[in-house]
Structure 1
Amino acid sequence: MEFTNQELEMIIYKLTRDKTLEKKEEKIIEMIIEKNY
C-alpha cells in the first residue's frame, strides 16, 4: 500500500496530535515512512 507524501503527512499529523499512540502503531508508522521515503 503506497501513499503520496501529502497523504503521509496528513496521517502523521493526525497521529502525532493524538498522543495516545501505542507502541505498535508507532512501529507501523515507522515502517510506512521507511517504505515510502
Structure 2
Amino acid sequence: MRLSVCPENSFEFNFTVTPAKAEATLNALKNWEKYHNAP
C-alpha cells in the first residue's frame, strides 16, 4: 500500500468520493496498523 504525501491526491480524494469509501479507507488503515504493530 502506498500513501501519497499530497493530500489533494490521496486523503482528500478518498474522503470526498463517498462517505462509504472514506469509512472503508479508515477501517483498512486501522486494521493494517493493528496487524502491522502486532508482536
TM-score when scaled to structure 2?
A: 0.46
Larger radius of gyration: 2
Tell which has more relative contact order, 1 or 2 (C-alpha 8 A, sep 6+). 1
TM-score when scaled to structure 1?
A: 0.48
